[in-house]
Chains A and B, each alone.
Chain A
Amino acid sequence: MTPRPAVLFLSAMLALAGCTSSTPVTHDPGRVVLPVKQVPVPGRLYATKSRALFRFSGTALTRLRFGSTVKDPAVTPTGDRIAVAQLQDQSSTIVVSDPNGQNRQTLTPVAAAEGSLWAFAPGFDSDGHRIVYLSDRGKRPSSPQNLQPNDLGVWSYDFATGQSRRLVQPFAYTGGDSDPSYRPGVSDQLVYTTYLYGGVPTEAVARMTWMSLRTGATVYLSPDTGRSLEPALSPDGRFVAFIRAGAGSDDLYVMPLAPTYAREPQPYPSESAVLVQSGIIAQPVWSPDGRSIAFLMLTKGSFDLFILPIATDTAVHAAGAAQAVTHGSFLDADSRLAWSP
């Protein structure tokens, strides 16, 4: 203890008394909370909280009974089927069902010769015939004595044949690729996030990547430094919204896409339009009519659902302020959003 205990003790008490927060952090209420003035959601918007699936439609909120924990919902463009990653004990599979969670079909195995498997982030193509997803299938068996990389690659599942095949081999020891989506309006293009390392000193880099399924060619759409992630394609396939990680913030950007790419665009168009800045934003998704983008934003310690009106007339830009659909709801920010008519 210090030489003048009484004085210091009193100082400590006074100081502690000053520790009452003026902007208290919100605590998880354990349910989805809608604000007093509700924001109607056009169509059907899907999100997860604590690995349970919720559907927002108009001012109605419905919890869908999947009977297990799920993440990464995806819907067909018509909304007639929904896909999720269904989580089990240290593995996950892709499951497809009707929009109410009924008539389920499991598409991917829980385990294979190489061990238990992960499968995440399903995404339908424009006609609902294929699903693109992430998996660590094809990895080498690993043990503490013989460590092997187990990174996520991009795979596709064809409903007609019931077969899966790997589309992208990830860089080893990066965690792999993320956020795959078929490009709407064309049948042979993918956009996803590639994780790798670069820079001096070496650091994690995330690059948006375009891929031709016809030739297998890949082209980076963002620079080799920093992190551009979670690309979300507009319903007409002309724009991509994405998250750009900056110093202490994750901002929402949007940029146009060329019809096709033969080489990396120079300069990178990835900073063409910032929609929301100085926030912590995750999981953007376009509305089916392309006139809004929904996303999750950190507000007082809680990730909540927001909708931002978008105009794509002369140049793509925000057409108004973002409106909060939920309030203090702690939605899962590591799980994708999905939006159907």
Chain B
Amino acid sequence: MPALGSMNHSPATGVPDAPGSHRVRWIVVGAIALVLALIAGVAIYLSPVLALLEPHEPSRGRVAGVPAATPPPLDSKQRINILLLGSDNDQKFRQDALLSQTMIVVSIDPSTHQVTMLSLPRDLWVDIPGHTSAKIDLAFAQGGAPLARATVEKAFKIPIHYYAWVGLNGLVRVIDRVGGVDLDVLHPVLDDNYPNDFSDSGYGTERVYLAAGPQHLDGRHALQYVRSRHGDLLSDFGRSVRQQQLLLALQQRAAGMDLITALPTFARDLNGHVKTDLDLVRLTQLALFMRNLHPADVHQTYISPYVRDAISADGQQILLADWTAVHAYLRQLFGGDLLP
């Protein structure tokens, strides 16, 4: 290739090119360089995001005999269900056998622009596919997201299209990255035996106090709010209410953010603390959907009216569900979108 800027000749005729064809060639070369630079820039920009979204733990097709829900096409108006899982992942637990302290099904209905959050109590006694009956939080510890997903699908008949898991540190980082959250703390939170996960042993406790009422919380205090249960008469149900409240606050906070500049840093912070099988396109689609969501479009739901306290054969305090009532309730929520 001749050096740029030298006198060029047409190889066929030996006649010097007209000045106009120089300009065209410059434009073409410039355009190619621009596109290459753009692609490189986008690749560099997105590399932490793509690393985060790698399928760390493929969640489909591992558990035999359980219907695997296929995500609806991108341009579809069908309902999308995401299983949100949260765990203690400090040093006192084996990292490959974490209980899911939090299980929330987030159901997004693009046709009505409504979102339903359904909290699943961690002490709920269910059949875990391929295992004996146990508390639902054991499914994630025994088989990761695939088994947690299969267990929810089997017990609740809700097709789970995606999952997202976050550890304690991840949640704190997410909240701090968005600059904290604004929450109306429902009642004073006092806990003299709150687990201090960030102590050396992971077994320490600390005293926690949060005043009631509207306030701004950083990641550490928001985690205390959604995690403490010793001072709440409603115990795990009270905690579920607070967890959904935090999700709503996060959604509202993120809606006011400049995602395009924040996303790579965000993703770098979260690497290792978040796992999901959402791909970039779906994640972007959901982010845009959530961004325009009004709080009134989000419905917080619980199955607390349909469960009762019980003791398992091995002496554990558990919750037993009236499954007929639970499924009837879910049919009200999701209509015909449940599994057979």
Contact = CB atoms under 8 A, between A and B. Distances in A.
B339 interface: no
Given A147-B193, A147-B230, A151-B231, A280 B184 contact: yes
Given A24-B257, A206-B212, A281-B214, A136 B190 contact: yes
Contacts of B186: 203-204, 227
Given A118-B190, A150-B190, A201-B302, A15 B285 contact: yes
B210 interface: yes
Nearest to B193: A144
Interface in B272-305: 279-281, 284-285, 287-288, 291, 295-296, 302, 304-305
B292 to A, nearest CB: 11
Contact of B288 (A15, A116, A118, A298): A15
B202 interface: no
B206 interface: yes
B242 to A, nearest CB: 10
Interface stretch (B13-21, B121-129, B153-161, B258-266): B258-266
A25 B233 contact: no
Given A90-B207, A142-B193, A303 B188 contact: no
Contacts of A150: 190-192, 231
Contacts of A204: 186-187, 238, 241
Using C-beta atoms within 8 Å of the partner chain, give the interface range for chain B.
Answer: 35 or more
A120 interface: yes
B92 interface: no
A149 interface: yes
A91 B190 CA distance: 12
Contacts of A307: none
A20 B189 contact: no
Contacts of A152: 188, 190
B312 interface: no
Contacts of A303: 182, 214-216
Interface in A146-165: 147-152
Contact of B257 (A21, A91, A92, A147): A21
Contacts of A197: 233-234
Contacts of B192: 115-116, 139, 142, 148, 150
B259 A12 contact: no
Given A118-B209, A120-B211, A175 B231 contact: yes
A21 B259 contact: yes
Contact of A206 (B187, B189, B232): B187
B285 to A, nearest CB: 7
Contacts of A301: 179, 182, 216, 253, 256
Nearest to A28: B179
Interface stretch (A34-42, A125-133, A327-335): A327-335
Nearest to B295: A248
Interface string A71-98: 0000000000000000000111000000
A232 to B, nearest CB: 12
A334 B183 CA distance: 11
B205 interface: yes
A8 interface: yes
B213 A333 contact: yes
A18 B231 contact: no
Interface in B52-85: 74
Nearest to A148: B192
B42 interface: yes
B281 A12 contact: yes
Contacts of B231: 149-151, 173, 175
A186 interface: no
B35 to A, nearest CB: 12
A138 to B, nearest CB: 13
B235 to A, nearest CB: 9
A260 interface: no
A197 B232 CA distance: 10
Given A15-B288, A20-B259, A201 B304 contact: yes
Contact of B259 (A19, A245, A333): A19
Interface in A245-275: 245, 247-248, 250
A335 B318 CA distance: 39
A20 B231 CA distance: 41
Contacts of A202: 234, 237, 304
Nearest to B288: A15
A229 interface: yes
A325 interface: no
Contacts of B187: 174-175, 195, 204, 206
Contact of B193 (A15, A143, A172, A206): A143
Contacts of B258: 19-21, 24
A193 interface: yes
A13 to B, nearest CB: 6
Contacts of B285: 15
B152 to A, nearest CB: 21
A243 B213 contact: yes
A151 B230 CA distance: 11
A19 B207 contact: no
Interface string B197-230: 0000000011101111111100000000000001
Given A25-B257, A173-B231, A12 B213 contact: no
Nearest to A283: B213
Interface in B144-197: 178-179, 182, 184-193
Sorted nearest first, the 8 A-B pairs with minimum C-beta distance are A175-B188, A19-B259, A25-B256, A173-B233, A334-B215, A90-B207, A204-B186, A334-B211
Given A12-B280, A281-B214, A334-B215, 12 more contacts: A2-B281, A17-B260, A142-B193, A147-B230, A152-B190, A173-B231, A197-B234, A201-B305, A206-B187, A245-B184, A250-B213, A302-B216
12 contacts: A9-B281, A12-B281, A16-B263, A19-B284, A20-B258, A21-B255, A152-B188, A174-B188, A204-B186, A206-B212, A243-B213, A303-B182
Interface of A: 1-2, 8-9, 11-13, 15-21, 23-25, 27-28, 90-92, 115-116, 118, 120, 136, 139, 142-144, 147-152, 172-176, 178, 193, 195, 197, 200-204, 206, 227, 229-230, 243, 245, 247-248, 250, 280-283, 298, 300-303, 330, 332-335
